Structure 1
Amino acid sequence: MFYDQAKIYVKGGDGGAGAVAFRREKYVPEGGPSGGDGGRGGDVVFVGDEGMSTLVDFRYKRHYKGERGEHGQAKNMSGKSGSDVLLRVPVGTVVIEDETGDVIADITEHGQRIVVAAGGRGGRGNARFMSNTNKAPTLAENGEPGEEHWMRLELKLLADVGLVGFPNVGKSTLISRVSAANPKIADYHFTTLVPNLGVVELDDGQSFVMADIPGLIEGAHTGAGLGHEFLRHTERTRLILHVLDISGSEERDPLEDFRVIQEELRLYSPALAERPVIVVANKIDIPGAEENLRRLQDVLEEGQEMFAVSAATGEGLQALIYRIAQRLPDIPVPEIAVYAADHRVTKAQPEKRFEISKTDNQYTISGKEIEKHVRMTLFDREESVYRFQNILKAMGVDDALREAGIKEGDSVEIAGVTFEWE
């Protein structure tokens, strides 16, 4: 089964906690702190794999987490870092942050590695907090939480040549005759429901990859007939073969088909409309094709190439294939781009360090930075709590709560931990 979209949850491993320990050696009175740091959490990493062709593996498992770092130990021994989770994805996969729609990565090469959820750093042990004024600190840190996201994966096939056209114009037959691809072929619409890839090899050792894109229909750029799912695969092709049923056997006018599909490509992406095109007039073996072929030649623009072929009998295919091989070296690889309906405007705005909301006598403080400090504080140690209070003062949280009208006995919640205001 071919799957070209998936939605998964990824989370980097949490860092290990730092240790609180002191040297206990004979003849060394009042030994200094020796608590080691926690290990770093493992990353979640995508790796491009040209041997894969679908995202089907992500249909059955959707949650992936990096390994947690080990806790620090006495004698200044740091914890072991957590193992990374390597997820192999097909070359051509675009990784999108689901909530914001931002493109995180575009995997276009075999072996390309992208960290999509970094593991948290390990917490510091008490040996790291020793100073001239505090020779025996009893505080340490929890490990930093790993990054977490919901990701959307979209696979865009990497092919040199893409076959486009209405359903049942002979695209599958054509790719089956010129390559080793074996698509389903039958005389009804939408026989091809998933893209097919075929490698075309010439006698002189040249080769190129051809993609049979499932049949498009009018309105495909709006998503009609699974248009978006099919059109995305045309974005990376260097050369487009526009296949027409020149015989009109489907009781459609091939000239109108040509106009409609070209317009759908333009509406989906203006860059696609500028892509080099070879028009393939297929089914010339069927009576009635000659008249339509003359009409097509009259409307083609000057310099636009057209080949009359019969995918069923093989007539004209060899000349078409050699012409494709001749043109491809002169066509640059298209730039990878994500097309949006509207232009995205990014404004540089300083991120708020925290926000305060109030419900009755309950104050809730949110913010990435302050929530991280909560998760990294060991609240069972008085010295760690005192340090956390100083962090809140330095960030301006105390003053902000007073301005918000907090009173003695009110509760404050940060990252699921509740405190009482004194």
Structure 2
Amino acid sequence: MTVLGLRANLAQFSLLVAVNALVGGVLGQERTVLPLLAGSEFHVTGHTAALTYVLAFGAGKAATNYFAGTWSDRFGRKPVLVAGWLVAVPVPLLLVWAPDWGWVVAANALLGVSQGLTWSTTVIMKIDLAGPARRGLAMGLNEAAGYLAVAATAVATGYLAARYGLRPAPFLLGLSYVALGLGLSAVLVRETRSHAHLEARGHAESALTDRQVLAHTSFREPALSSASQAGMVNNLNDGLAWGLFPVLFATAGLSLGQIGALAALYPAVWGVGQLVTGPLSDHWGRKHLITAGMLLQAGALALVAATTGVAAWAWAAALLGLGTAMVYPTLLAVVGDVAHPAWRARAVGVYRLWRDGGFAVGALLSGAAADLYGLRAAIWTVAAITAASGLVVAFRMYETHPRANRLDARSGGDAGR
């Protein structure tokens, strides 16, 4: 029997939380090690060249996110999830055996495709199961699991790299995550598309083509388009943190262990924080949490650019993680609030297309700025862009959670439903 709600679907929801933790772990295998491999083993010069792997990852993931939503509606959620894990199988092996930087870039293109399929599908499946009342909590748990795993794996790979070298040990951990995630998804995860069909019965008919969903989510609908731009800028600064923070820390003379700890602190606070901010958005509403989170991220990036030393950078990393925690699950909840269940999976895919396109934009922008003006100038640039994005949310987005602001959601959100 198909029933909506976290309590009614607790076993399957918990399994999907565990699966998304493994998805995050596969991403986390790179956070500490790859920026250091670029210079030490592959002798890549120039920040833009070194960030080509972030560009490849972001482009692959952004494009695949769009198709993940469409395919999930057409073929079902589970087949897309399993396909994503199959794409991930060669990634750790390519990183272990890579004879030149081109192999690393190719591995990250595959990683982006895999993450687009797996992470997008776990998001869609949890939205299906949770129903409308606890969507913020559901997204908080999903994203917390993924980014806590990113953080834990960044610490673990930093330890493995310090003890056994940059290759192969850190990537063997990633390979074990892929094997476990593929097994759980193929054997134990159940299809959730029927839950979306059940929820759709409570809404007026809303048949949109793929092109209409793309335009609606990207530009036309104020809340959806505001969420899309904020998501892109959020991952723009995450791409900066992923690709350039370890380089900045290394140039300041920090040890590999210190770099690994700082690289892990940001996603750790991000992950834990979402356990609070996700359900908080169900009570306080979405808009102001997103606005405050974007402005806090901007301030944290400015603190990284303006200071030096482990203590100051640790504070900045923690603030950046907190700001991201305020934004990340809440933006997904906005999409779930506004999009009709009949085309919600596609709207999630479009939103994640824009959001993860931020990795590619961030790699190009921050890499070019760092090459031309230095690492700190690149960070200042991204801080300014992040602050501007928060102001766009403040002036364009309306409140989407019906319990937080029923009148605003009804008058502004009917076009989306």
TM exceeding 0.5: no
The structure in which a higher percent of residues are strand is: 1
Structure number with greater Rg is 1
More RCO (CA 8 Å, sep 6+)? 2
